[in-house]
C-alpha cells in the first residue's frame, strides 16, 4: 500500500486498479476498502488469554509531520523509503476516550482467543470520522524487529526489546509446558 492507494473518485479508483494490474500482472479480484480518516491504532498482546497475558499500550500513528496533501497512511513509503515524507511518521501512545479503549481491548482479547492466536499478536484499528473503531487487520505473527510496532508498544510499557522477546518466548514455554 502506498500513498497512491488512496483515491477520491471512481476514475482514480479505476486508474489505481489498472496500475496494480499492469505493474504486477495481477488478474485476480482486488479488495477495495473505505478509507477511514480517524486515528490509526495498533494493539499488542503478549501471552495467552485468558490465563496469562499483557495488553501493551495502544499506539497511534502521529501524522503531523506529513504535508497536508498526503493521505494519512502508514504504508510502503513509511517502512522502506527513508527519503519519503512518510519516513517521519512517529508512533505515540494513543489518546482515546476510556470507553473506546475498553471496547478495542475487549474485542482484541476475544479475537485473540477465537482466532486461536498464540503467544503474541498485533491488531490494527482505525477510527472512522465519527470516532467509531473499525478493525483493519489481525496479525498473529507480527515482526519481532527492534523498530516494529510491537517493540514500540513494549517500550511504552517499560519493556526493553530483549524483555519483549523474552516475554514472547516465556508465553510459548508456558503454553507448551516447557521448562
DSSP conformation letters of 140-151? SS----TTSHHH
pLDDT band at 44 (very low <50, low <70, confident <90, very high): very high
Residues 86, 147 within the same domain: yes
The backbone torsions φ and ψ at residue 50, rounded to the nearest 5 degrees and listed phi first, read -95, 0
Query: Is the same domain home to 50 and 88?
Result: yes
Confidence band, pLDDT 50/70/90 cuts, at residue 145: confident
pLDDT at res. 48: 95
CA distance 96 to 124: 15
Are residues 75 and 148 both part of a single domain? yes
Contact 43, 108 (CB under 8 A): yes
State yes or no: pLDDT of 5 exceeds 90: no
Neighbours of 137 (CB within 10 A): 11
46 and 73 share a domain?
yes
Residues 84 and 164 occupy one common structural domain: yes
DSSP symbols for 91-112: EEE----HHHHHHHHHHHHHHH
Do both 127 and 92 map to the same domain? yes
Q: Is the pLDDT of residue 179 over 80?
A: no
**Alpha-carbon Rg of the chain, whole angstroms?**
18
* Closest of 104, 93, 87, 127 to residue 3, by C-alpha: 87
Question: In terms of Cα–Cα distance, which of 86, 71, 90 is closest to 33?
Answer: 71
pLDDT in tens, 100-144: 999 999 999 999 999 999 999 999 999 999 999 999 999 999 988
From residue 157, how far is each of 11, 15, 48 by CA, in Å?
A: 45, 43, 18
Are 71 and 152 contained in the same domain? Answer: yes
Same domain? 24 vs 62 = no
Residue 178 DSSP label: -
Instruction: Give me the pLDDT at residue 51, please.
Output: 87
According to the model, what pLDDT value does residue 93 have? 98
pTM value is 0.90
| 111 in the same domain as 43 | yes
- State whether 144 and 63 are in the same domain: yes
Total tally of structural domains belonging to the chain: 2
Which residue range forms the structural domain that includes residue 156?
A: 37-176
Helix or strand run (H / E) with residue 176:
helix 161-176
Domain of residue 85, CATH code: 3.30.470.20
C-alpha cell at 68: 497536508
Average pLDDT over residues 80-94: 94
Across 1-15, 67-81, 101-115, which has the greatest mean pLDDT?
Answer: 101-115
* pLDDT average, residue stretch 25-45: 94
Which among 108, 115, 119, 130 is positioned nearest to 57, based on CA atoms?
108
Mean pLDDT of 2-7: 85
> Do 170 and 149 share a structural domain?
yes
| pLDDT reading at 57 higher than 80 | yes
Residues 86 and 8 in one domain: no
- Closest residue by Cα to residue 56 from 171, 136, 173, 133: 171
Quote the CA–CA distance of 144 and 161 in Å, as a whole number. Answer: 9
Amino acid at each position: 500500500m502506498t500513498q497512491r492507494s488512496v483515491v477520491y473518485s471512481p476514475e482514480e479508483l479505476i486508474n489505481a486498479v489498472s496500475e496494480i494490474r499492469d505493474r504486477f500482472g495481477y488478474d485476480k479480484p482486488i479488495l477495495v476498502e473505505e478509507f477511514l480518516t480517524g486515528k490509526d491504532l495498533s494493539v499488542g498482546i503478549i501471552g495467552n488469554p485468558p490465563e496469562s497475558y499483557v495488553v501493551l499500550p495502544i499506539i497511534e500513528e502521529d501524522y503531523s509531520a506529513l504535508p497536508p496533501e498526503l493521505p494519512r497512511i502508514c504504508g510502503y513509503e513509511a517502512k522502506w523509503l527513508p527519503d519519503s515524507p512518510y519516513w517521519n511518521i512517529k508512533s505515540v501512545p494513543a489518546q482515546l476516550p476510556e470507553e473506546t479503549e475498553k471496547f478495542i481491548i475487549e474485542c482484541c482479547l476475544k479475537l485473540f482467543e477465537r482466532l486461536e492466536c498464540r503467544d503474541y499478536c498485533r491488531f490494527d484499528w482505525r477510527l472512522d470520522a465519527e470516532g467509531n473503531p473499525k478493525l483493519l487487520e489481525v496479525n498473529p505473527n507480527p515482526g519481532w524487529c527492534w523498530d516494529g510496532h510491537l517493540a514500540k508498544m513494549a517500550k511504552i510499557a517499560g519493556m526493553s526489546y530483549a524483555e519483549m522477546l523474552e516475554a514472547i518466548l516465556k508465553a510459548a514455554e508456558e503454553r507448551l509446558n516447557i521448562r
